Amino acid sequence: MIGISRGAESNEEEQRDVSIHLTPTELADEMKMKRRDVLFKCQEMGVPIFNGRIDKTLFASSLRRFTEQTQRARTA
């Protein structure tokens, strides 16, 4: 039948795949950082800010990778 929803499981999967765009303040709260540090890290890592919002997933993965690279450079 046309128009039948796919069920709760499909909706949950779709929601997990959707990127989450947050303001710098919201992202700072979630990442337990200061707002200015979030903005500085975005600039440092090249994470774009579109319409005053930052992709949480991109920021978190970039921060993880950036931290790992920094730690490797210190030990080398």
Domain boundaries, the chain: 17-75
Helix (H, G, I), strand (E, B) or coil at 4: coil
pLDDT in tens, 26-39: 999 999 999 999 99
Is 76 a residue whose pLDDT tops 80? Answer: no
Output 1 or 43, whichever has higher pLDDT. 43
Q: Is the pTM of this model over 0.85?
A: no
| DSSP character string of 18-45 | S--EE-HHHHHHHHT--HHHHHHHHHHH
- pLDDT at site 56: 96
**Helix (H) or strand (E) run with residue 55 in it:** strand 54-55
Interhelix angle 35-45/24-31, rounded to 10 degrees, is: 100
- pLDDT at site 15: 54
**Helix (H) or strand (E) run with residue 66 in it:** helix 56-75
Categorize the per-residue pLDDT at 42 as very low, low, confident or very high, splitting at 50, 70 and 90.
very high
